[in-house]
Amino acid sequence: MPEISRFFGIVIAIYYKEHQPAHFHAKYENQTGVFSIADLKLIEGNLSKRVISLVLEWAFENRDELMENWELAMAKKPLQKIPPLV
C-alpha cells in the first residue's frame, strides 16, 4: 500500500492503478473510506464520524500535497510523505 501519512491509527494512501476523480484512501481498523481531493468529501466507504473529521482536518491542511501525490501516482512516480495530523 503506498502510504503517504499515518496519524491516530489512520492510514492514508494513494494507489497507483486508480481512476478519476482524484482521491485518496483512509483506513482505520476495519473501516475504509475514499475521499475526493477536489471537494474533500467522503465518496465511498464507511468510517465513523470521528475518523472522517480527523481525515478532513488533515486533508484541508494538505490539499496541495495530496494533489501533487495524485499526479505522481498517475505518472507512476514515487509518492511523497505528508506530515501527520498532530
Joined together, the cell numbers standing for residue 46 give 464507511
- Would residue 17 count as lying in a domain? yes
pTM of structure: 0.95
| In-domain check, residue 80 | no
Domain range for 17:
3-74
Contact 34, 44 (CB under 8 A): yes
Residue 43 domain-assigned?
yes
Residue 86 lies in a domain: no
* Degrees, nearest 5: CA angle 45-48-49: 110
Torsion angle, alpha carbons of 17, 46, 32, 25, to 10: 50
9 is a domain residue: yes
Give the pLDDT confidence of 5-64 residue by residue, as tens digits. 999 999 999 999 888 999 999 999 999 999 999 999 999 999 999 999 999 999 999 999
In a domain? residue 40: yes
pLDDT of residue 1: 65
Instruction: Report the side by side order of strands in the sheet with 3-7.
Output: 3-7, 10-13, 23-28, 31-36, 42-46
In a domain, 16, yes or no: yes
Which 8-state DSSP code applies to residue 44? E
Q: For residue 81, which of 20, 28, 12, 10 has the smallest C-alpha distance?
A: 12
79, part of any domain:
no
Number of domains making up the chain: 1
